[in-house]
Chain A
Amino acid sequence: MNLFSIEFLLLVMICRLAAVALSTSLQNYVFLGASLLFCLSHSPLTLAFLFGTFLIAYFSLRLYRRTKGKWALPLGILLILATWIASRVLISGGVTGMDLTNMDAGFVLGLSFYMLQAISVLLKSVKHESDQDPTFMEFLLFLAFFPKLTAGPIEPPGKFIRQLRARPRPAAAETVEGFRLVIQGLFRKFMLGDSLLRTIPKEFFIQPGGLSQTELAAWLLALLFGIYNDFLGYTQIARGISRILGLKLSRNFRSPFFSRSISDAWLRWHITLSQWLREYLFFPISRFLARRFPNPRHIVPMLIPPLAVMSISGLWHGFQRHFLIWGFVMGLLIFLERLARSIHPPRPVTKTGRPWHWAKSTIRWSALVLSLIPFALPAGTSLEFVQSLLGGNPLPFPDTPVLLFIPLTLLWDGMQKRWGETFETLPVPRTAGFLLQGVLILLIFLQSLTATPIPFIYGGF
Chain B
Amino acid sequence: MTAPNPSPHEIRVALKRYICEEILKDPQYPIGDDTRLITGGIIDSFNITHISVFMENEFNALINDENLNPENMDTISGMALLVENALSSGADSQ
Contacts and interface: CB of A to CB of B under 8 A. Distances in A.
Contacts, number: 70
A264 B41 contact: yes
Given A278-B45, A290-B49, A338-B44, A267 B65 contact: no
A296 B68 CA distance: 17
Contacts of B45: 263, 267, 278, 282-283, 286
Given A267-B38, A345-B23, A345-B24, A287 B65 contact: yes
Contact of A279 (B29, B41, B66): B66
B10 to A, nearest CB: 21
Nearest to B53: A290
A127 B46 contact: no
B46 A302 contact: yes
A320 interface: no
B56 to A, nearest CB: 8
A261 B41 contact: yes
Given A127-B64, A283-B68, A287-B65, 9 more contacts: A264-B44, A275-B69, A279-B65, A282-B45, A283-B45, A290-B52, A291-B56, A294-B50, A305-B49
Interface of A: 127, 260-261, 263-264, 267, 275, 278-280, 282-284, 286-287, 290-291, 294, 296, 301-302, 305, 338, 341, 345-348
B46 A346 contact: no
B52 A296 contact: no
B13 interface: no
Contacts of B46: 263, 286, 296, 301-302, 305, 338
Given A260-B41, A290-B50, A296 B22 contact: yes
B70 A283 contact: no
The 5 closest A-B pairs by CB, nearest first: A260-B41, A283-B65, A263-B44, A286-B49, A345-B24
Interface of B: 22-26, 29-30, 38-42, 44-47, 49-50, 52-53, 56-57, 64-66, 68-70
Contacts of A291: 53, 56
Most chain A CB neighbours (cut-off 10 Å) among B38, B44, B52: B44
Nearest to B63: A287
Contacts of A264: 38-39, 41, 44
Interface SS of chain A: helix
Contact of B47 (A275, A287, A296, A305): A296
B79 to A, nearest CB: 15
Nearest to B30: A348
Most chain A CB neighbours (cut-off 10 Å) among B30, B42, B49, B57: B49
A79 to B, nearest CB: 24
B39 to A, nearest CB: 8
Most chain B CB neighbours (cut-off 10 Å) among A290, A294, A296: A296
Given A279-B65, A284-B65, A302-B46, A346 B53 contact: no
A302 B68 CA distance: 17
Contacts of B68: 278-279, 283
B41 A345 contact: no
Nearest to B42: A346
Contacts of A346: 24, 41-42
A12 to B, nearest CB: 31
27 contacts: A127-B64, A263-B44, A264-B44, A267-B38, A267-B45, A267-B70, A275-B69, A279-B65, A279-B66, A279-B68, A283-B68, A284-B65, A286-B46, A287-B52, A287-B53, A291-B53, A291-B56, A294-B50, A296-B22, A296-B46, A301-B50, A302-B46, A338-B44, A346-B24, A346-B41, A346-B42, A348-B30
Contacts of B57: 294
A260 to B, nearest CB: 3
A264 B22 CA distance: 21
Nearest to B25: A345
B85 to A, nearest CB: 15
A411 to B, nearest CB: 22
B30 to A, nearest CB: 7
A336 to B, nearest CB: 13
Nearest to A284: B65
B23 A287 contact: no
Nearest to B35: A348
B25 A283 contact: no
A187 to B, nearest CB: 27
Contact of B44 (A275, A280, A284, A341): A341
Contacts of A305: 46, 49
